[in-house]
Amino acid sequence: MASWRFISAPAIEAAEFRLALPGYTFSFPRDHYSHDDFRTEWWYYTGHLRTGGGEVYGYQVTFFRSGITEARANPSRWAAKNLYLAHFAISDIPRKTFRYFERVNRAGLGQAGASDKEFRVWIGDWSVGGDGTTQRLQAKDGGFAVDLTLVSQKAPVIHGEGGISQKGEGRGHASHYYSLTRLATEGTLTVRGKSVAVMGVSWMDHEFGSTQLHPDQVGWDWFSLQFDDGTELMLYVIRKADGRPDPYSAGTWVGADGRTVRLRQQDFSLEVLGRWKSPRGKGTYPMQWRLRVPTIGLDVTATPAFPDQELDTAKSTRVIYW
């Protein structure tokens, strides 16, 4: 679970880029690739890994692409038209410790990039690529690393209606958004310099668009839940400045057979049962939730494995999130 997503540059810049509008038709594997005509894009991986000895770890690897408005008018093939950023995190659940790392680089001299011809995204030696159905995900830093093969068990799940996930009132205040909700995962995990074989399950989100949240939308809480019966739930609550959920909050329930049910804000309720205050940034985060979706008979309580999993990404995306 995460409670933040990358927010694009101000809307005035978005005029230089393509807007996410109704009528978009997804095509795979093409839509796994980069979409440079949109301002902001991310490939977001989270998952749980288990060692042969039964220890459980969580991980996150996220790649961001941010279009640079000024560079789009530069005809030079050397012009860096995109900025690339990445986050890598490991949750050591048995020891309740959390480590994260971040990177940032312009697309120069092959140091970072995202291809629009094949599924390949990289920043240094952190990378993901493949044919979409099977992917290889790699990241390493500071004695921690993942080298994982991910195999999708279901077709891509497209969120929203008409090819867009509407995030606010007005034309283009939306994204094109899909998920691979159940990726069988195996490979190698390195923790404090010690490598071990792991297996598990992952989730991948890919989202691209060109506008920011409205001024009264101050953030969002996002859930990706995988259940033992083979079903999944994606749900996000956009938070308004007065604390109320925005009516554009939404979700998607995915059946074991891959069929989907779109959820609007009035179809579910989210109750915060506990909170945690960061000892560093002093922010206070929801830390336990009761989630109810009456239309599908769902009533669950979600509790993190441990509270202190905060990322302070001052060197890259310049936000603090959990």
pLDDT tens per residue across span 247-294: 999 999 999 999 999 999 999 999 999 999 988 877 888 899 999 999
Tell me which residue of 183, 181, 180 sits closest to 231, measured CA to CA: 181
Query: Which domains does the chain carry?
Result: 11-316 (2.40.370.10)
Per the CB < 8 A criterion, the answer to whether 160 and 110 are in contact is no
What's the confidence (pLDDT) of residue 284? 86
Output the CA–CA distances (angstroms, integers) from residue 1 to 19, 241, 307, in the order listed.
28, 22, 12
Count of CA atoms in the C-beta half-sphere (13 A) of 243? 4
Q: Name beta bridge partners: 123.
A: 112, 126
Question: Is the model more confident about 304 or about 170?
Answer: 304
Question: Quick count: other Cβ atoms within 10 Å of Cβ 167?
Answer: 27
Share the mean pLDDT of the chain.
89
Strand 56-67 to 217-226 pairing? unpaired
Of the pLDDT bands very low, low, confident and very high (cuts 50, 70, 90), residue 318 is: low
What's the confidence (pLDDT) of residue 77? 59
Of the pLDDT bands very low, low, confident and very high (cuts 50, 70, 90), residue 313 is: confident
Per the CB < 8 A criterion, the answer to whether 201 and 184 are in contact is yes
pLDDT tens for 148-190 read: 999 999 999 999 999 999 988 888 889 999 999 999 999 999 9
* 298-314 average pLDDT score: 89
Question: Quick count: other Cβ atoms within 10 Å of Cβ 249?
Answer: 23
Per the CB < 8 A criterion, the answer to whether 243 and 268 are in contact is no
Of the pLDDT bands very low, low, confident and very high (cuts 50, 70, 90), residue 1 is: very low
List, edge to edge, every strand of the sheet that includes 298-302. Answer: 269-277, 284-293, 298-302
The yes-or-no verdict on residue 239 having pLDDT over 50 is: yes
What's the confidence (pLDDT) of residue 265? 94
Of all residues in the chain, the percent with pLDDT exceeding 70 is: 91
Of all residues in the chain, the percent with pLDDT exceeding 90 is: 71
Cα end-to-end span (Å), the chain: 8
What's the confidence (pLDDT) of residue 15? 53
Question: Is the model more confident about 279 or about 300?
Answer: 300
The yes-or-no verdict on residue 7 having pLDDT over 70 is: no
The yes-or-no verdict on residue 68 having pLDDT over 90 is: no
The yes-or-no verdict on residue 66 having pLDDT over 60 is: yes
167 backbone φψ class: left, alpha, beta (φ>0; ψ -120 to 50): alpha
Of the pLDDT bands very low, low, confident and very high (cuts 50, 70, 90), residue 12 is: very low
Of the pLDDT bands very low, low, confident and very high (cuts 50, 70, 90), residue 2 is: very low
The tokens of 248 are what? 């554009």
Of the pLDDT bands very low, low, confident and very high (cuts 50, 70, 90), residue 73 is: low
Q: Residue 107 has what DSSP assignment?
A: S
Rounded distance between C-alpha atoms, residue 286 and residue 283, angstroms: 10
* 66-93 average pLDDT score: 80
